[in-house]
Amino acid sequence: MIGEVLTKSQILENIYLEIAIKGMPRILSLMSREEFRPTYGSFDRNYWQYKMIDFSGSLFQTATLSLALAYNYPFEGNSYYNNRKILKLCEGAIDYLPKIQNKDGSFNHNYP
């Protein structure tokens, strides 16, 4: 990249990638990562750790996309790319989603 002129979109992409990778530890800290727990795969820490609410909010599961992108997208400094542990966590998050789905296909977020 030395001497290479970057386009504005390439510069922005690099900035966003850097920010995204720096945020991954926080995303992972929100996830219930112990396989033996019934909450394995949940990103709703208020539910699985603090027990502040009675149900796991489904909107938190959108963090699964960030994990999947980090796993699948190769770029400089991405230690999550092709990392088997990240793949397993992605699978756990995906497997958790049907557990919190209502019988009518809806999901709970703010209220049951």
pLDDT digits (tens, 9 = 90+) for 85-102: 999 999 999 999 999 999
Q: By mean pLDDT, which of 6-15, 17-26, 34-43 is the weakest? A: 6-15
Average pLDDT over residues 31-55: 97
Determine whether 26 is exposed, middle or buried from the number of CB atoms within 10 Å of its CB (0-12, 13-18, 19+).
exposed
| pTM of the predicted model as reported, rounded to 2 decimal places | 0.86
Q: Report domain extents, the chain.
A: 27-100
In the predicted structure, residue 2 carries a pLDDT above the cut 60: no
**Quick one: tokens of 15?**
């900035």
Average pLDDT over residues 21-26: 95
Give the C-alpha separation, 105 to 79, whole Å: 36
Exposure letters 51-62 (e unless 16+ CB within 10 A, then b): eeeeebbbebbe
